[in-house]
Amino acid sequence: MLRHSDIWEAIDRLAAKHNLSPSGLAKQAGLDATTFNKSKRSTRDGKLRWPSTESISKILAATSSNLSDLLNELPNAATTITQRIPVIGFAQAGDNGYFDDAGYPTGSGWEEIVFPDIGDPNAYALMVSGDSMEPLYRDGDRIIISPVANIRGGDRVVVKTGKGEIMAKELVRRTAQRIELRSINLEYENPVLPTAEVEWIARILWASQ
């Protein structure tokens, strides 16, 4: 299981590896200098705060690193528990036979990637294609999705419609009648879908290059 303290320590080590402080790493990545401060790693009431996938993506780009490089900075990286996660492309995901009615991966045709254990044996990955999710997710990135994770407004999600369309958006609001979404790429429209037309919706947990 990937622990909160482990991922923050890996970020600190990645910064040091490039002769940077955590705040220096944040600034080099175009983030607010306080993004990785120790005071930002939990809320005032003690709730753990995790780094966003967007901030992770930016520091990897800023240091010419990839996700494997960051994972190598985890404490006891050699013994980190991993899981094999099925992955397919966005275009394939809209076809029949890859998901059951609840949005769990099924059938054949999936490839696999090795990823740190995230505690969800049903997690899967989709390979991004095109520019509809830029600048957060780019062509070739893999987004890790959990069909069982709780979803709240503001979460980034993948939605499959009854027509077979797969889209990655930010959830604005979900009611019994409709699901309001916000496009990650501002050049695309913000869909509002009747709930009855949505086959399933699942939360994006992570992204890797």
Domain boundary (79, 94, 127) is at 79
Residue 14: its H or E element: helix 4-17
Judgement on whether residues 140 and 179 belong to the same structural domain of the protein: yes
Judgement on whether residues 110 and 87 belong to the same structural domain of the protein: yes
Please tell me the pTM assigned to this model: 0.64
Instruction: Give residue 78's Cα distance to chain centre.
Output: 23
Report d(CA 151, CA 89) in Å as an integer. Answer: 23
Judgement on whether residues 20 and 95 belong to the same structural domain of the protein: no
Q: How many helices (H) and strands (E) does the chain have?
A: 5, 9
pLDDT > 90 fraction of the chain, expressed in percent and rounded: 34
Average pLDDT over residues 46-55: 84
Average pLDDT over residues 69-93: 77
Report d(CA 180, CA 22) in Å as an integer. Answer: 36
Judgement on whether residues 101 and 183 belong to the same structural domain of the protein: yes
User: How high is the pLDDT of residue 77?
Assistant: 60
Place of tokens 């009747």: 194
Is it true that the peptide bond before 135 is cis, omega within 30 degrees of 0?
yes
Judgement on whether residues 103 and 176 belong to the same structural domain of the protein: yes
- The number of distinct structural domains making up the chain is 2
User: How high is the pLDDT of residue 178?
Assistant: 95
Report d(CA 178, CA 68) in Å as an integer. Answer: 39
For residue range 99-157, list pLDDT tens digits in order: 888 888 887 778 887 777 777 888 899 988 888 888 777 888 888 899 888 898 989 99
User: How high is the pLDDT of residue 28?
Assistant: 94
Judgement on whether residues 27 and 62 belong to the same structural domain of the protein: yes
Assigned token pair, 91: 């275009």
Average pLDDT over residues 6-22: 91
* CATH code of the domain in which 35 resides: 1.10.260
Q: What residues make up the domain containing 71?
A: 4-79
Judgement on whether residues 91 and 53 belong to the same structural domain of the protein: no
Judgement on whether residues 112 and 62 belong to the same structural domain of the protein: no
For residue range 175-206, list pLDDT tens digits in order: 999 999 999 888 889 999 999 999 999 999 88
Q: Does 5 have pLDDT greater than 90?
A: no
Judgement on whether residues 16 and 71 belong to the same structural domain of the protein: yes
Average pLDDT over residues 163-186: 92
Judgement on whether residues 65 and 92 belong to the same structural domain of the protein: no
Nearest to 192, CA basis, from 203, 182, 184, 202: 182
* CATH code of the domain in which 185 resides: 2.10.109.10
